[in-house]
Amino acid sequence: MTTLIRTENLTKKYSAGNRFFCSKTAFTAVNNVSLEIREGESLGLIGESGCGKSTFGRAVCGLEKITEGKLFLGETDVTNLSKGEFRPYRKNIQMVFQNNLSAFNPKYTMYQSIEEVLKNFEELSKSDTDARIKAIFRSVGLDEKLLYRYPHQMSGGERQRANIARAIVLNPKVVICDEAVASLDYALRKSILKLLNDISGQYGVTYLFITHDLSTIRYVCSKIAVMYLGEVVEIMDVENMEQTMLHPYTKALFQSVLITDPVKRGTICRDKIGELEYLPKVETGCVFYNRCKYCTDRCQRDPPQLQQAEKGHMVACHNIEAFNVCTLRK
Ligand SMILES: Nc1ncnc2c1ncn2[C@@H]1O[C@H](COP(=O)(O)OP(=O)(O)OP(=O)(O)O)[C@@H](O)[C@H]1O
Ligand SMILES: [Mg+2]
């Protein structure tokens, strides 16, 4: 399977304060993240608000300058490319932004917004552009008439479909969906998730699907990476994740989701996991130390590296053995 995106210890730090009153302390939003997205293997990136998901997504599509580490698109190291040099690669990585109203220029109709993307990256005749825009709009289930509306004249669901149409009009290999369904009601959420799934099959798009909602992951992704305070603590297959998850943070995150299937609900070990309350990160050691029921002196001292628990399953925890006992495997 071809690797589309690979990060090696990707780190993004923001300096505190503004341009004129910069403090010397930098805030690390993403720390040492090494992830791989392979063709046809959509990856869900999950974690609670503020853990660095969007920052990672923006860094991967060239919208944030990486502070440390490397970014590879295919085989090419694109870490230090200028905006101009990055442009040809950008065509293959598009983004569906979190807030779909502000994602569009309010002065442009939907037609103009999609046309702008095509003009930026392809040299098409007017009639070819027109045909392409209409076809992509139809393919996301929207009536062509809506192409001549402004963003505020559309419903949230319609706008999100248009947002997706704009992201896929260039036939990108990867689409980064940043909370693509978070602002939609339940029925719309399901229809957009189905649309994303259909697009993946039809156009061969692979997703980096950023969300804080575990229940949406399984519709679109085959792999999941769990992020906590800027670090990835677990990577695993979505299939049977309830049974395979090992990291105490992943389990706690999963507990916060209502599981409708009583069989699955019964297979998750709930008794040993504590409540997630906010505590600051420790300076050294494991990023989850302060919130972990199982922490030891070693956890406070040494940051655990991601290590293989089984094929395709990586966990950053010193106490995997203990959790294996607690996990009820089939
Ligand atoms: N431009 C910026 N300057 C300084 N700090 C920033 C900037 N952008 C993000 N941050 C900080 O980086 C951290 C990670 O932000 P990010 O938006 O990536 O989180 P997130 O996981 O996407 O959260 P959410 O689920 O709420 O969207 C946050 O603490 C945020 O305040
Ligand atoms: Mg975000």
What number is the average pLDDT over the span 110-122? 94
Mutate to test the pocket of ligand 1, among 22, 55, 183 (most ligand atoms within 8 A of CB): 55
Nearest C-alpha to atom 10 of ligand 1 is from which residue?
A: 29
With a pLDDT cut of 70, the percent of the chain lying above it is: 86
Q: Is 183 exposed, middle or buried (0-12, 13-18, 19+ CB in 10 A)?
A: middle
What confidence score (pLDDT) does residue 231 get? 95
Count the neighbouring beta carbons within 10 Å of the beta carbon of residue 91: 15
The highest-level CATH class for domain 1-83+174-191+199-239 is alpha beta
Q: Starting at the edge strand that comes first in sequence, how are the strands of the sheet with 174-178 ordered?
A: 93-96, 174-178, 206-211, 43-46, 223-228, 231-237, 313-315, 307-310
What confidence score (pLDDT) does residue 20 get? 59
Helix axes of 156-168 and 186-203: crossing angle, nearest 10 degrees: 20
Tokens of 292: 């972990």
Residue-wise pLDDT for 292-315, tens only, equals: 888 889 999 999 999 999 999 999
Ligand 1 atom nearest 27 alpha carbon: 5
What confidence score (pLDDT) does residue 330 get? 33
What confidence score (pLDDT) does residue 259 get? 54
Q: Which ligand is nearest to the CA of 27?
A: 1
Query: Over 80: is that where the pLDDT of 276 sits?
Result: no
With a pLDDT cut of 90, the percent of the chain lying above it is: 58
What confidence score (pLDDT) does residue 66 get? 95
Average pLDDT, rounded, for the chain: 86
Of the pLDDT bands very low, low, confident and very high (cuts 50, 70, 90), residue 291 is confident
What confidence score (pLDDT) does residue 19 get? 57
Ligand 1 atom nearest 16 alpha carbon: 4
Query: Over 80: is that where the pLDDT of 277 sits?
Result: no
Residue-wise pLDDT for 188-238, tens only, equals: 888 889 989 999 998 899 999 999 888 888 889 999 999 999 999 999 999
Residues 174 and 206: their CA atoms lie apart, in Å, by 5
Torsion-angle region of 62 (φ positive above 0: left; ψ -120 to 50: alpha; else: beta): left
Q: Between residues 212 and 107, which one has the greater pLDDT? A: 107
What confidence score (pLDDT) does residue 326 get? 47
What confidence score (pLDDT) does residue 220 get? 92
Q: Is the CB of 58 under 6 A from ligand 1?
A: no
Residue 210 CA to ligand 2 centre (angstroms)? 8
Contact 192, 160 (CB under 8 A): yes
Indicate the pTM of the whole model.
0.89
Instruction: Report residue 282: phi and psi, to 5°.
Output: -75, 155
Instruction: Report residue 196: phi and psi, to 5°.
Output: -60, -40
Half-sphere exposure for 137 (CA within 13 Å, toward CB): 23
Residue 31 CA to ligand 2 centre (angstroms)? 16
What confidence score (pLDDT) does residue 329 get? 37
Tokens of 154: 């559309």
Q: Where are the domains of the chain?
A: 1-83+174-191+199-239, 93-169, 246-330
What confidence score (pLDDT) does residue 290 get? 86
Residue-wise pLDDT for 22-72, tens only, equals: 556 788 999 999 999 999 999 999 998 899 999 999 999 999 999 999 999
Residue-wise pLDDT for 120-163, tens only, equals: 999 899 999 999 999 999 999 999 999 999 999 999 889 989 99
